[in-house]
Amino acid sequence: MKKILLSLASLLILAVPTKALTVTATVPSEASTCYLAGNFNGWSTSATPMTKVDATTYTADIDVSSITNDSLEFRVLAGAAWAYEQSDPADNFKLKISENPTVNVTVVAFKAYPTTAEDLVIEVLVPSDVVDCYIVGSFNNWSGPSAETKMALVETTVDGDVFQITINAEAATVEYKFCAGPAWDYEQTDATNFKYATDGGTVAVNSFKKIFDPSKTGTIVITATVPEGTVASWLVGSNISWSMDNAVAGVKNVDNTFTFTVTDTEGFEYRLYNLNDWSYPEIDELGADRPNRVVAYPADAATSITVYAWKQVPSSIASISANKFNVFSADKTIKVEGVDSQVKIFNLTGRLIQAVKTTGSFISQKLNSGIYIINVDGLAQKVLVK
């Protein structure tokens, strides 16, 4: 069997040197685990676990090569969710990377500490015109409605409809709220979150910002004229709960425009990016981040837009840390070892080839020869498949 490995020359050309920084945190002795979340890892609460040194000290080596403005910003958490973030100090830790080869911080208190998760049954009474109901909350890091958080209709009453779901969470700390559709556009109007510890699992919601109507949905196709030299483009919007991890990659056309297709939608707000990173948005004529664009079905089923400019142009693709992941090509596939949550593979036009949520080892589908962009847990690198 013929094995194809990345050559040393390919790695030297395609990879960007990793820039590492050591962060040491002194925390209360009640903490049994610690994590870092910041602009270096897309504010992921689970991507950067720290190593325990002693009862009150944790340390982690972080890759800061993706930060272009020399400003590191982060928070310390006592668990892999925002429910456990630091409360004292309340503000994020901020520093200049060039002035701090090592970082030492102190956390006086956290909002909460992890306990044992259990299955919790949640029921909500909503107005009878709600067709689909979703739960979102601290149990899924407020990542927005998804197929996994869609609730089941269990009862119809004179007061409204009852939806139910079972979630695995910690009763003492979990907070939640509801959406009457598959995006944040449909969230409840009451801004106050429900707390299982005080509200229990049976609650009522009287109104939502809007209610999803499947009979009024369709496909919206957006064609974007972009600045010359744009290699790839992504759409991020309310249709995917403003999740950069789920950014919609545009398909590059022969005339160098990009096409974005969103199905089963009533409409949404969005913005385009020239890298799947919050630091690379489109800007207006004055150089400011432009307001979100808005489309609605069916009026904007076929929409053409023009991107005036990008906030910045990526000079290279941020390299995957060699210390964290082992990435190589063999037998027309890309293999990764050490995955924490997900892997995405794009071609050089920005088209998504494969996306998988997994942990441990990953082997891609069979690929054609060429250069691909592989994104592992928010870090990206070009990979050559021969």
What Cα–Cα distance (Å) separates residue 259 from each residue in 14, 173, 231, 275?
27, 43, 13, 15
- Quote the percentage of the chain above a pLDDT of 70: 91
Instruction: Between 12 and 190, name the one with better pLDDT.
Output: 190
Domains of the chain: 17-110 (2.60.40.10), 118-204 (2.60.40.10), 215-310 (2.60.40.10)
Task: Give, as one character, the DSSP assignment of residue 92.
Answer: P
Task: Report the distance separating Cα 318 and Cα 333, nearest Å.
Answer: 21
Nearest one of 308, 302, 305, 298 to 270, comparing CA atoms: 305
240 vs 183: CA distance, rounded Å? 6
pLDDT band at 13 (very low <50, low <70, confident <90, very high): very low
Contact (Cβ atoms closer than 8 angstroms) between residue 233 and residue 277: no
- Hunting for tokens 């690379």 — which residue is that? 280
Averaged pLDDT of the chain: 87
What is the Cα 57 distance to its own chain's centre? 29
For the cut 80, the answer to whether the pLDDT of residue 108 exceeds it is yes
Residue 153 exposed, middle or buried by CB count within 10 Å (0-12, 13-18, 19+): middle
Computed from CA positions of residues 362, 338, 372, 379, in that sequence, does the dihedral angle turn out positive or negative?
A: positive
Give tens-digit pLDDT for 301-327.
999 999 999 998 875 444 555 456 778
Rounded to 5°, the CA angle 202-206-208 comes to: 110
Taking a C-beta distance cutoff of 8 angstroms, is the pair 260, 248 a contact?
yes
Residue 58, pLDDT score: 96
Give the separation between CA 170 and CA 117, rounded to whole angstroms.
4
- Residue 41 is encoded by which pair of tokens? 């890892």
* Structure confidence at residue 68 (pLDDT): 80
Q: How far is it, in rounded angstroms, from Cα 62 to Cα 377?
A: 13
* Radius of gyration over every alpha carbon of the chain, rounded to an integer in angstroms: 22
Structure tokens at 219: 């496909």
Q: Which amino acid type is present at position 357? A: K
Sequence-distant (6+) residues with CB within 8 A of 338 are: 324, 325, 326, 360
Enter the tokens of residue 56.
Answer: 């009150």
Identify the CA nearest to 146 among candidates 12, 259, 240, 258: 240
pLDDT digits (tens, 9 = 90+) for 210-269: 999 999 999 999 999 999 889 899 999 999 989 888 899 999 999 999 999 999 999 999
pLDDT in the model for residue 320: 54
pLDDT computed for residue 377 by the predictor: 74
What one-character-per-residue DSSP string does 282-315 give? EE-TTSSBPPPEEEETTTTSEEEEE--EES---S
Which DSSP letter does residue 238 get? G
